[in-house]
Structure 1
Amino acid sequence: MIILLDTSTSTCFLTIVNGENRQDFEWEAGRTLARNLLKFLEEKTGDLHLISGIGVMKGPGSFTGLRIGLTVVNTLADSLNIPIVGAMGDNWRDLALGKLRSGENEKIVMPEYGAAANITAPRK
């Protein structure tokens, strides 16, 4: 099973690819992404150990969403010893899937924010 993950917005998008079958899921993560992303992935895959490759949207997008999403999938790919690739653009899923199917492995995917990070002042 290959997973394709996009955490570049407050809505998290997950595509699970098994052969020619694709299942799409979306989750309004909001401010719970860090707390619940791994649980979301476990629930949708059934078993993280069944994942054979990861494709991820690397940007542009939300600084925090990309940082959290990429940290989770980079760690997952490393711990499961499976390939991971990143892609950008409207057809990022197809690009990532093509990279994985051709045997590419970036080992670590870095975010492409599209602009400098906008760091806000603490609220308190």
Structure 2
Amino acid sequence: MLLLAFDTATPAVTAAVHDGTAVLAETHQVDARRHGELLLPAIDRVLRAAGVDKHQLTGIAVGVGPGPYTGLRVGLVTAAALGHALGLPVHGVCTLDAIAFQARAEGLAGQPFTVATDARRKEVYWASYDADGSRTEGPGVDRPAELTPAARSVGAGAVLYPDAFPGAYGPEHVSAGALAGFAAAELAAGRELLPNVPLYLRRPDAQVPAAYKTVLGGKAVLPA
């Protein structure tokens, strides 16, 4: 197994190569405004660092969110294009599940916890996990005050709203290495991953104005 994994659902642009047992190379850069500019160079770096030619890959794992529309679609479109060009299967992974996988590896194994990332608009994307790391609730998008999280929480959303998420713990953003590790474990166990379809959970910020009307007969129809 040689998986190329990447995620653009959070402010982090992260990519990794995983051989089914361990991460061979990983890169991680936090920049919420440059996903489209940073992703392909990041993929090139990890392939070179791992000494892997893209034609040796056996699959692609990509974070499908939840996340903001603009950043998330960069990863999904890139995964679809690479999968088509190289004839590879594309496996979707809930970004919150990847963060949970990483949190357990870093010390939260054996206890329930909540993962929360920043959804903007004073909301968070969230999911809850039991002591075995299985998702029990979510993913969802809500205001922090409307949630009853577990005693321990991880993710940038938990750090941003400490009053609502006591016991906030790292990591804040997803790691492509953790995403790849989660995907490799699920595939090795014979479990299916998600399709390469975005988990937006809400409508995009940019919307057609309510008063907008289409052009008919070559003339613009203005709102009354």
TM-score when scaled to structure 2?
Answer: 0.47
Q: CA–CA distance in 1 between the matches of 2:93 and 2:193?
A: 12
Structure 1 residue 48 and structure 2 residue 135: aligned? no
Asked if the contact 2:6/2:63 (under 8 Å) is kept, the reply is yes
The 3-state SS of whatever aligns with 1:79 is: helix
User: Are the equivalent residues in 2 in contact too, given 1:53–1:100 (CA < 8 A)?
Assistant: no
Of the three residues 206, 211, 216, the one matched with 1:119 is 206
CA distance in 2 between partners of 1:42 and 1:76 (Å): 12
- C-alpha distance after superposition, 1:7-32 (max 9, x if no partner): 10121122321131214421224322
Q: Pick the aligned partner of 2:66 from 51, 60, 68.
A: 60
| Residue 90 of structure 1: aligned partner | 96
For residues 15-54 of structure 1, the aligned pairs below 5 Å read 15-22=16-23, 23-46=25-48, 47-54=53-60
SS for the counterpart of 1:91 is helix
Cα distance in 1 for partners of 2:182, 2:19 equals: 17
RMSD: 2.6
In 2 relative to 1, CA 104–76 (structure 1 residues): closer, same or farther, beyond 3 Å?
farther
In 2: Cα distance, 1:49 partner to 1:103 partner: 25
Aligned partner of 1:80 among 86, 100, 116? 86
Matched residue SS, 1:60:
coil
Bigger-Rg structure (1/2): 2
Aligned mates of 2:73, 2:58 — CA distance in 1: 22
Percent identity between matched residues is 25
Residue 9 (structure 2) aligns with: 8
> TM (normalized to structure 1)?
0.78
Partner deviation per Cα, 1:41-83 (whole Å, 9 max, x = no partner): 0111123223211111111012111111100011101110011
Q: Does 1:70 align with 2:71?
A: no
As a proportion of its length, which structure holds more helix? 1
Which consecutive residues of structure 1, in runs of 5 or more, have no partner in the other structure? Answer: none
> Structure 1 residues 109-118 or 9-18, which shifts more?
9-18
2:196 maps to 1:109: yes
